[in-house]
Amino acid sequence: MVGESGAGKSVTALSILKLLPTKKASYDSGEVIYNDTNLLASKEEILRRIRGKKIAMIFQEPMTSLNPLHTIEKQITESIILHQYVSYNEALAKTKDLLNLVRLQGVEERLGAYPHQLSGGQRQRVMIAMAIANEPDLLIADEPTTALDVTVQSEILKLIKDMQSYFNMSVLLITHDLHTVYRIANRVGVMKSGRLVEMGQVKDIFRNPKHEYTKFLLNSVLQERIDQSLSIGNEIISCKALSVSFPVYRGVLRRKKGEVHALNNINLCINSGETIGIVGESGSGKTTLGLALLRLIKSSGSIYFMGREIQEKKSKNIQPLRSEMQIIFQDPYASLNPRLTVGQIIEEGLKVHQKELAKEDRRIKIMKILDEVGLEHEYIERYPHEFSGGQRQRISIARALILKPKLIIFDEPTSALDMSVQTQILKLIRNLQEKYNLAYLFISHDLRVVRAISHEILVLKDGIAVEFGPSEKIFNDPVHSYTKSLLRAALNLNFN
């Protein structure tokens, strides 16, 4: 099931089990038939016997759907005991078998872990184990790989396919990633504004789409950046031998027992008008590199910004430079203050760095920047929760851009957006770069996005730069085995 945000994909899935909030939603018409039973007309008692046993669901964000107060062991065994009426020891034995089946490493150690102690991929494996614990007839997977690295995405999708074959399940996969649909689905339904506008075999839909909206989605697939020729401008920021370590404390007295080396001897230079893409799995040091360059975390090595060494400068001496270096985060909803209006959010930087501006002058600048990022002037009085993900990301870009910076660091800015919205945001980012000759550091685990935006790409693994070069060279003729594995997982490419 594909379609943009708000198309009705998740509402359709939740309706199957009547999981929509009863006070906010009603089922006006239609039927959901399971084994000759209309679930929409069934009593809660019948639905409770079906939920989790006959029809199970994997939610988009396992961190919010797993109970943070209970261990992994308790959450899975509880589901087994509830539906299978077995003893705790029997349920525990089955829990271990399930976690081994979904290939979770170190099962014995993970049983006592809480959700926050697991990585995104590990949490998703736990969710799959819970979902298949009672061998359901139908597994609903709602955006199960959205925020995962490409290699983990590939593993999770393969795992779902393997579990489907093992238990002979039907699977309803909800996603905005058309590549995922093409790789693993048999049939596809396209939704728009709560309506199913087209449905058929995957190959038929992809090769010969009938509906205009389906054609629009297929045409939104990201393409490689074609303007690879780059007129090198002035150096904006560079680093030499940049390293970051985090101390590890253990024991009751919290004594330092060692260090985690998050970044090791990174050398990098970004010029005006240039985009450097940073790729790698979670924990590879991508975000750490961005934060270190902005002096937001401690690091060693040298950092030069606009020709000035800033590593040894005190915070108060760096503050005047902050207007020229900006960062845009992965989740705009989390990075925008929910208590401030759009106008107040964008205005904050002006109040700090351009105190001499009058209120009316600030408002004029805000209106101009809203025009730049494609937002209506009337949005100035609205709050972040009133916007879509793509609109919120435009607000974040406006907040960064209003100070006319020289450098913008993008940390996974499109990971949670629909493909068509991704295309719009990337086009906006590129247009702004060309207009203002901006330097970009673009962090992402989505190699298609990086390919569409970057001139050069740095590949990080465990804090080490394993490969660096022009985007075209990295994608067409990678040297390092890790780069090849990333490309293979993301693009199904084969290398000799």
pLDDT tier at 438, thresholds 50, 70, 90: very high
Please provide residue 33's backbone torsions phi and psi, each rounded to the nearest 5 degrees: -95, 120
Please indicate whether residue 483 or residue 249 has the higher confidence score (pLDDT).
483
Strands 187-192 and 195-201: antiparallel
Cβ-contact 342, 379 below 8 angstroms: yes
Cβ-contact 260, 288 below 8 angstroms: no
Write down the pLDDT at residue 495. 45
> Distance between CA atoms of 85 and 64, rounded to whole angstroms?
27
Best CA proximity match to 188, nearest among 458, 314, 436, 2: 2
**pLDDT per position as a tens digit, 339-367:** 999 999 999 999 999 999 999 999 999 99
Supply 108's token pair.
């014995």
Class of domain 273-297+316-491: alpha beta
Cβ-contact 222, 425 below 8 angstroms: no
Helix 120-132 × helix 150-167 angle, to 10°: 10
**pLDDT per position as a tens digit, 89-109:** 999 999 999 999 888 888 888
231 pLDDT higher than 60: no
Write down the pLDDT at residue 225. 56
Would you kindly state where each structural domain of the chain is located, as residue ranges? 9-185, 273-297+316-491
Residue 82: alpha-carbon gap to chain centroid: 33
Do 9-185 and 273-297+316-491 show the same overall fold?
yes
Rounded to an integer, the average pLDDT of 117-138 is 86
Name the fold adopted by 9-185: Rossmann fold (3.40.50)
Rounded to an integer, the average pLDDT of 254-277 is 89
388 pLDDT higher than 80: no
- Encoded amino acid at 342, one letter: V
Give me the helices (H) in 116-234, please. 120-132, 150-167, 178-184, 202-207, 212-219
The three-state secondary structure class of 444 is coil
Write down the pLDDT at residue 496. 46
209 pLDDT higher than 70: yes
Write down the pLDDT at residue 410. 94
Please provide residue 19's backbone torsions phi and psi, each rounded to the nearest 5 degrees: -100, 0
**pLDDT per position as a tens digit, 13-72:** 999 999 888 777 888 899 999 999 999 999 999 999 899 899 999 887 667 778 889 999
Cβ-contact 47, 179 below 8 angstroms: no
pLDDT tier at 73, thresholds 50, 70, 90: very high
